[in-house]
Structure 1
Amino acid sequence: MKKQPEKVWENKGIIYRQGRIYVPDNQEIRDFILHDHHNSPDAGHPGTYRMLESVKQTFWWPTIKTDIRRYVRGCDMCQKNKTIRRPDHIPLNPLPIPDKPWEEISIDMIGPLPKSKEKDAIIVIVDRFSKMIHLVPTITSLTSTDLAEIYKEEVWRHHGIPKRIISDRGPQFASKFMESLCTALGIERNLSTAYHPQTDGQTERMNQEIETYLRAFINYRQDDWTRWLPMAEFHYNDKTHAATGQTPFFLNYGLHPWKGNITIETTNPTATSLIEELENVRKEAKAAMEANNEMMRERGNNKHHKEPFAEGDKVWLETTNIHSNRPTRKLDHKRYGPFEILK
């Protein structure tokens, strides 16, 4: 098959390659772009995959993948704060995939945390289709009625009522929540909802990502995390998810939010074509999630091999058995260092 020529053009002094800005061989410019897409609060220190997808929305250069991998591996903040993914030793049992956004949600809580504006916990609400999240500061003692009010004020007005709830807090919690939500909305009919125990680890991984983001930006006293919560939510919803191949924003709304970056060259599609494109993207996302679930089912009990260390290597010290004077371990650094191996 004959290789098609690349679409490259120039407009107002800017070179475009397949609709993305071609960044010249200038390390200062490229490092600025990498810093902006990794270290800023709305970027939130993403991993290699998510950072690559984010940068590629606007920019391109020949070594972009290698440069991003190098940048992420060299980030001290990521080394300090991120949870190391261990191989799964138990066969995973992924849940069935919903057909469209906000049909199925999962609800969880992170806490207790140091008090920030009189709040000591975070409600995490996740759409299982698009992976979009809403993060709401709350208190650890909230009831199902309190949660229903939070959902009405923060989620329902945007997405409506879910058909199914996933929570590890028990089926009674899910049913009481739905009953309270119907009461709060003045709905005089019973909504059936199914409870599923969390079997695919999605909620735990989500919580870890939120905690990792907060570790990178909160103060030493850990009492300003409510300030960073909106940015943590935006950061997650604006990053490409490995299971869907799309950002939660795009799967919900069919577009990416404006962040003040230079825009790429594009045409102005009609409303009909936008709807068709979004429908196709959602079908592709569901197919990608099904393929991802199949991969999870087939994943074996991979053995973890410890990496050998040598004199002169730089290493990080796990803080598992180290107690600092910060209020909670949940938002403390995962590692200290780096330290050099002397012998």
Structure 2
Amino acid sequence: MSQGVLYKKNFCPDGERLLLVVPRTLRTRLLRAFHDDATAGHLGFYKTYERIRQRYFWPRMYSAVLSYVNSCLPCQQRKPATPPTSGLLHPLEPPRQPFDRVGLDLFGPLPTTTAGNRWVIVAIDHCTRYVETAALETGTSQEIAHFFINSILLRHGAPRILISDRGRSFIAQLLQDIFRACAVIHRPTTAY
């Protein structure tokens, strides 16, 4: 006690520190100042507790700060909702033969070439890593269909599985109809 004010001695690595013991009547006001005040920033429990703990003490302070921060209405309203847990990853089965499973992706837009092309389409065979590419003007489903028919279907045959992202051009009805007619299973990657 010093001049009628109660302190608690706190021993820490950098020496002894005196912590002001907060009376029960002032604890809520102190919590508001360290959490709700405009300069406090509605920090989370740990940061709020650490800031208070450096200068003040009262019995069961940890649980009081935890309860106060967890019951703060503005924090609860602004707290982002917990996203649903992701599902388990499923490994891809190994391809049975060359061009059994093909990955298809579009790259661009790039600076326009002298031929007027701005996109590159890439197909990769998952068995051999063989790559087919072509330059495209616009990357539309019509251009992708033309590439698929001429560079994949007529050269290597219809793949059993085709993997692509969910780009608008890849999920267009034209390509879905071509894949269905060729008995190709289209597996778009999961959206994120």
Query: TM-score if structure 1 supplies the norm length?
Result: 0.26
TM-score, scaled to structure 2: 0.45
The structure where helix makes up a greater share of residues is 1
Higher Cα Rg, which structure: 2
More strand by share: 2
